[in-house]
Amino acid sequence: MARNKKDPNHWSQPRPPQSVGPYEAGELTHYGRDGIFYEEPNWAKEVELSMSQGRLTADQAWQRMVRGRKIAPKGSQVRIFDVSDIWAADYDVQKTPSQSNDLHASVGAALEEKASLEEHKAWWSRPERRRLYELVKEVSDVQV
């Protein structure tokens, strides 16, 4: 995602990370704290939710999110999804590795690659959309 050069604190139009292909089988790990997990993208920064491929502990997920910090903060949790359940609910799951997280995955709207921000927001706002919390396979205990 590119920054607006005129205002370094303002992100330009968010766009999906670069995909290296669909993630079609296995598990996904989604990091949260104190029982709070994002259920839709942070529209100022992204059009998809960030997760990690595979089953990770809260510490492992944290290490992939925040380079160089080994221990996850108090209250950290992860929830685990079966990728096939997410695809079956009409989400799109892509492998989107980054320099700091080679297991990064993006869960987003099943839309054309060039879809606008408004189209993404409309997809996530559909009343018939299965919410991610409905698809959770397992939630870890809170770390103290």
pLDDT for 17 = 63
Counted domains in the chain:
1
Any domain includes 16: no
pLDDT for 106 = 94
Any domain includes 1: no
pLDDT for 21 = 78
Q: pTM of the entire structure?
A: 0.82
Distance between alpha carbon 23 and the CA centroid of its chain, in Å? Answer: 13
The candidate with the shortest Cα–Cα distance to 105, out of 129, 83, 78, 134, is: 83
CB count in 10 Å sphere of residue 4: 11
What is the block-wise mean pLDDT of the chain (144 residues), using blocks of 10 residues? Answer: 44 59 90 93 92 93 80 90 96 90 92 89 96 95 70
Any domain includes 5: no
Any domain includes 11: no
pLDDT for 50 = 93
Instruction: Tell me the pairing of strands 136-139 and 91-95.
Output: unpaired
**Torsion-angle region of 57 (φ positive above 0: left; ψ -120 to 50: alpha; else: beta):** beta
Any domain includes 124: yes
pLDDT for 10 = 44
Any domain includes 29: yes
Any domain includes 25: yes
Domain that holds residue 33: 21-138
Give me 116's structure tokens: 């606008």
